[in-house]
């Protein structure tokens, strides 16, 4: 029996020789259990060792192999060849500059992630001797979904708002800010507010919802952002009430 073969159209960009990206087609085998990442590894090992892409765990935990597969942001390790036709188009994540082939420049994302202070800001610092900050299962549940992000950036690739307005802090970073705001051990909401509840923050989001549709971990960043909009709007209106603070 002859093994089924498919064509992989991969966007190539080699900065030292290409003025702009172009598609290179590779013919690869298509075993039932292979994902797009396996096909790329086959290309790298057997056909063309100059092809560059990021990957690490091969089990959708590390978030390294995000790319656009047939127009859809996907983890290459979670996209089975059997679910596609005889021709699969593989491109780097949209809305990011291309460093080389399928590798994008993620500096902007890293800066935005850092800007929302994505760490616990406790009311009082405890020494190790005083033990840990306790939390009930219900308190954990309140933010757990938003803590599942693996920073794969599929949401940034899917978000047209980020593509059109690059200053937008974006889905994953805002969802992470929400994750800490919702944490019973955290009091950092005010400290994050200037970044999060700003024009470049939640208010740049027009709720296209694409981020949540492509998220491989069902984090629902779009939902998180709408919830922050709601609490931020409440903050704004209560600030006009007597004793509601200055604005």
Partner 1 sequence: MSRKPYQRELPKTTWFLRHARYKKYMLHEISAIAVAVYLLILIVGLFRLAQGPDAWAGWLAFVTSPLGLVIHLIVFGLSLVHTTAWFKAVPQAMRIQRGEQFVPGPTIVGAHYVVWAAVSVFVLILAGVA
Determine if 126 is a binding residue for partner 1 (CB under 8 A).
Answer: no
Q: Where does this chain touch partner 1 (CB under 8 A) — which range of 30-38, 119-127, 187-195, 221-229?
A: 221-229
Distance from the first to the final alpha carbon of the chain = 74
Determine if 148 is a binding residue for partner 1 (CB under 8 A).
Answer: no
Determine if 212 is a binding residue for partner 1 (CB under 8 A).
Answer: yes
Residue 60 phi/psi, 5-degree rounding, is 35, 50
Determine if 67 is a binding residue for partner 1 (CB under 8 A).
Answer: no
Residue 41 vs 95, nearer CB to partner 1:
95
d(CA 133, CA 123): 11
d(CA 225, CA 143): 13
Counting other chains too, the contacts that 28-32 makes at CB distance below 8 Å and 24 or more residues apart are 29/3, 29/4, 29/5, 30/3, 30/4, 30/5, 30/6, 30/81, 30/82, 31/3, 31/81, 32/82
Residue 206 vs 239, nearer CB to partner 1:
206
Choosing from 90, 98, 175, 196, the residue that interacts with partner 1 (CB under 8 A) is 98
212: number of Cβ within 10 Å: 20
Residue 118 vs 163, nearer CB to partner 1:
163
* Pairing of β 66-69 and β 98-100: unpaired
Determine if 16 is a binding residue for partner 1 (CB under 8 A).
Answer: yes
Determine if 208 is a binding residue for partner 1 (CB under 8 A).
Answer: yes
- Which residues of this protein are in contact with partner 1, per CB under 8 A? 13, 15-16, 20-21, 71-72, 94-95, 97-99, 105, 137-138, 141-142, 160, 163-164, 206-210, 212-213, 220, 222-223, 226-227, 229-230
């Amino acid at each position: 029996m002859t093994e089924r073969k498919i064509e992989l159209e991969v966007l190539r960009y080699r900065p030292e020789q290409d003025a702009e990206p172009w598609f290179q087609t590779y013919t690869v085998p298509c075993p039932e259990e292979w994902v797009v990442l396996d096909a790329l590894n086959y290309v790298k090992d057997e056909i063309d060792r100059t092809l560059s892409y990021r990957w690490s765990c091969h089990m959708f935990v590390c978030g390294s192999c995000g790319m656009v597969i047939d127009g859809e942001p996907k983890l290459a390790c979670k996209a089975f060849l059997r679910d596609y036709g005889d021709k699969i188009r593989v491109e780097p994540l949209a809305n990011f500059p291309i460093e080389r082939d399928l590798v994008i420049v993620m500096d902007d994302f890293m800066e935005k992630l850092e800007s929302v202070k994505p760490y616990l800001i406790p009311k009082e610092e405890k020494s190790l001797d005083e033990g840990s900050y306790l939390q009930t299962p219900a308190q954990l549940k309140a933010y757990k979904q938003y803590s599942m992000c693996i920073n794969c950036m599929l949401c940034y690739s899917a978000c047209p708002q980020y593509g059109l307005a690059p200053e937008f802090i974006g889905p994953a970073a805002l969802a992470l800010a929400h994750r800490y705001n919702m944490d019973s051990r955290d009091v950092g909401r005010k400290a994050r507010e200037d970044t999060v509840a700003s024009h470049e923050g939640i208010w740049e989001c027009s709720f296209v919802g694409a981020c949540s549709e492509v998220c491989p971990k069902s984090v629902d960043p779009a939902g998180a952002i709408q919830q922050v909009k709601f609490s931020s709007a409440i903050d704004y209106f209560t600030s006009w009430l007597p004793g509601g603070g200055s604005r």
